[in-house]
Amino acid sequence: MSTTPFNVRLPDWALGYINERAVATGTTKTDVLLEALQALKVQDREALMRKGYAEMREIDKLIAEESL
């Protein structure tokens, strides 16, 4: 995997947590951020799927009503 340096400003609490998590898990700060981004990506995908299923439910309901 190629990487690109990236600077970001974080509040003290966030940087503190990243450092604590890296030490606790024996990983790097980069790994901690990648783990968090992956979790956010999964949450976004799940939310999108929930929205899609809700929309499909409405469409299915309309189709069922029209066929009556």
Measured at the alpha carbon of residue 26, what is the angle toward residues 20 and 28, in degrees to the nearest 5? 75
| pLDDT tens track for 35-58 | 999 999 999 999 888 887 777 877
Predicted local distance difference test score (pLDDT) of residue 22: 98
Closest CA to 1 of 37, 48, 34, 47: 34
36/44 Cα distance (integer angstroms): 12
**Which comes out higher in pLDDT, residue 43 or 67?**
43
Question: What percent of the chain is predicted at pLDDT more than 70?
Answer: 100
